[in-house]
Structure 1
């Protein structure tokens, strides 16, 4: 090395003579660049495209352009660009366990003379990255009813020090706790996500409403039994020794309220409320009492129906206490009740002096003005949508035909031209679309959507659509059909709630 440096020292000065005869003889002396030893460090996982460091040199006298090259390499690990950028040679890599340090010799050259320097590269140990965590759920999808719960089980690997974070993208539909317990809140779709570190997996949860149908079914002794179906599973509410029937169902929170009647030993119909299957009587047993509709508002339970006085009288029970809605001398019926912001709306009819029913809407006990009350008419169903009050039933045309009609805020809106007898038994409004069910000509169970009829049966047997409810785009209709002896249609398709051997009737459908 000393001999080499001496040689370069000898050659460091180059003498050039001027060739112009008119100029005096002169000489040019070149000064070698100055380069020092360098030290760099690099992580053992550095790639061959990354720069380890840049070698520099100076030529402060001549300011010649300096280029760099490697004179001695270490297993050909390194390369240097002419401008001094040091990197790994293509395809090469460092390994701390093999060598913690590498030394190479580079040369800085100004085009005439060069200088050597040593470059030391210290290798930094890199701990290998742990394997990425993985997570998988036992189910990719779930289908639940409202208020159902189910636990998702996660299988994980490489999870040391990590927790699973559970989230729902729609907590109005389904929630999930820190252990993966999913609770269905209301109908719709939610995505449950389980996150482990940066890894995620999901489960799609579809929540369907619980479908409650209140009605009756004939037992083996040919006695009508008050019945409640929940998602197709039958619960008999009465003991089957006397005639009974369930007329209306309402669900508030987790409590299920059903109203109807049970005949006593004297064959008097007793108004009955079943709360979660437990019966409570609320009529006097002197005359027949026939509840028709129930609505629960907070802690208050409202039931409307009629007492079989002479004449029959429309009544309202609030928490079991009865109020007469009509005090005249003519027959009156209360068929439906709905409550909003403390206001109680009851739909029904009062017979006039010509013994024709006249559609009647009570608000907090006072009758409301309705249009198109010529001839006979009735309100059989009441529905509140925001500030709009709907009452549905029938009116009559000039030919004395019954015409399916609903009143919106007192204004009558018939469904057809009255050429055939039609009647609405139930109305439901969603997104300003009016859904109704009833019958056409006494035989055809019918659904109207904004006045356009769809027939649920073929007309060969007597059938009625008695109650309607809508969830998202699904239309549920409870009723009766002497042909199939079933009690529910969903989107026009009959559901097999019974074995089809005994007559059954669905008088009310409620979705929760």
Structure 2
């Protein structure tokens, strides 16, 4: 009897407990809120920019951010600080870890590291009304000491060299160059320089000297560390020679330009070695000049112009000429080339439409950049093509501005009207 009473009691407790659980269920924990990361962007920088802090994106979570780069050859990340290692585009991923109330989340943005862009030129509108050499680094203008004309630019490490012609007020130009904005005269006599190259501690400058008594008495000249050497004209001892440029390739110096026969009997392209001996001389007197020289491996490319009732562009690959039939250049001095893979790019100013038209030719096919503009020099970095020149606002004197084109897109440079851009150097390393 006692056993039956106990069993009935336990059954009653079980029923009461079961009813109690149904009336008071276990509390449910709310699901974490999804995280939304917004406004995650990193502006482009240049190759020699210092380390910088990433601006944190927006988020509805308070969890800490962490960042990672997918290409340490372009940029690395430590904490929230980016360190630039090379030119290119990299993906930067930001992540927030999960918390009690929020889920984990991540977002991605691209970060681009640009090469340093150095451009040389001249400004005809200065405070004292005289010509001034200038150069830009990444769009910021720098005026060179004294008065003069900037024609070519070369960058080695932290040093910026600009070749040009330096003048005193009312005097003839003197050959010289600027190093980091400070002028260096190469001669007390009159003359001008057209190009500069630096190899190790050696500075090579090419140009011409002439007598103030007879400005037509021109002497083609190369200076090595300030020491002068006159270049020969093997085509015609009584003729002239005009060097246009200089490069150093595989520790060898090449100077290029044109020879001119006596009494204006035609001209031929020529390339000298650094010691003044002749590396290459064309007997085609119809060919006017070598204006640009480019090595790719063992292949030698040159470009210049020919004259048959008008100026036309031409380029050579290993001494084989390729004419660009429909390219009308305004002057032989204004053509330049670069080679990217198997593609040959040449820039110049086309006069076929009766006005200055900045253009370039890829494997002989023309792309027009802008009318009322001049294209002066071309350079490449990776697949990017840079061309410098000037854009005319009108045909009034000094009414033009300095510009460059990046892959065909016009970019204006700082500086007053009457300023042009003539040469460019692209530096893709620190």
Structures share a fold, TM > 0.5?
Answer: yes
8 A contact 1:370–1:412 mirrored in 2: no
- Structure 1 counterpart of 2:77, from 154, 170, 176: 176
1:385 aligns with 2:301: no
8 A contact 1:137–1:202 mirrored in 2: no
**Alignment-derived partner of residue 286 in structure 1:** 189
| In structure 2, C-alpha distance between the alignment counterparts of 1:449 and 1:209, rounded to whole Å | 23
- Structure 2 counterpart of 1:453, from 351, 366, 370: 366
Q: State the Cα distance separating 1:402 from its structure 2 match.
A: 2.7
Q: Mark the runs of 5 or more structure 1 residues left unpaired by the alignment.
A: 5-71, 77-91, 96-127
Report SS of the residue matched to 1:368: strand
How does the TM-score come out when normalised to structure 2? 0.75
Distance 1:166 1:252, change over 3 A: farther
Q: How does 1:179-194 map to 2 (within 5 A)?
A: 180-183=81-84, 185-186=86-87, 188-193=88-93
Structure number with the bigger relative contact order (C-alpha 8 A, sep ≥ 6) is 2
Q: How does 1:201-350 map to 2 (within 5 A)?
A: 202-220=108-126, 221-239=128-146, 242=147, 244-264=148-168, 267-281=171-185, 283-288=186-191, 290-308=192-210, 311-326=217-232, 329=237, 330-350=239-259
Q: Deviations for 1:86-110, whole angstroms, at most 9, x for unmatched residues? A: xxxxxx9999xxxxxxxxxxxxxxx
Report SS of the residue matched to 1:185: coil
Q: State the Cα distance separating 1:266 from its structure 2 match.
A: 6.8
Distance 1:224 1:170, change over 3 A: same
Q: Deviations for 1:441-486, whole angstroms, at most 9, x for unmatched residues? A: 383333112111233343xx5x531111234454322223443612
8 A contact 2:145–2:182 mirrored in 1: no
**Alignment-derived partner of residue 437 in structure 1:** 347
8 A contact 2:175–2:190 mirrored in 1: no
1:143 aligns with 2:30: no
| In structure 2, C-alpha distance between the alignment counterparts of 1:335 and 1:395, rounded to whole Å | 16
| In structure 2, C-alpha distance between the alignment counterparts of 1:325 and 1:448, rounded to whole Å | 32
8 A contact 1:135–1:154 mirrored in 2: no
How does the TM-score come out when normalised to structure 1? 0.64
Report SS of the residue matched to 2:280: coil
Cα RMSD between the aligned structures?
4.1
Distance 1:166 1:367, change over 3 A: farther
- Structure 2 counterpart of 1:488, from 378, 394, 403: 403
- Structure 2 counterpart of 1:404, from 313, 319, 336: 313
| In structure 2, C-alpha distance between the alignment counterparts of 1:137 and 1:277, rounded to whole Å | 45
| In structure 1, C-alpha distance between the alignment counterparts of 2:285 and 2:96, rounded to whole Å | 70
Report SS of the residue matched to 2:400: coil
Q: State the Cα distance separating 1:349 from its structure 2 match.
A: 0.8
Report SS of the residue matched to 1:487: strand
Q: State the Cα distance separating 1:73 from its structure 2 match.
A: 12
Larger Cα-atom Rg: 1
Aligned residues: 387
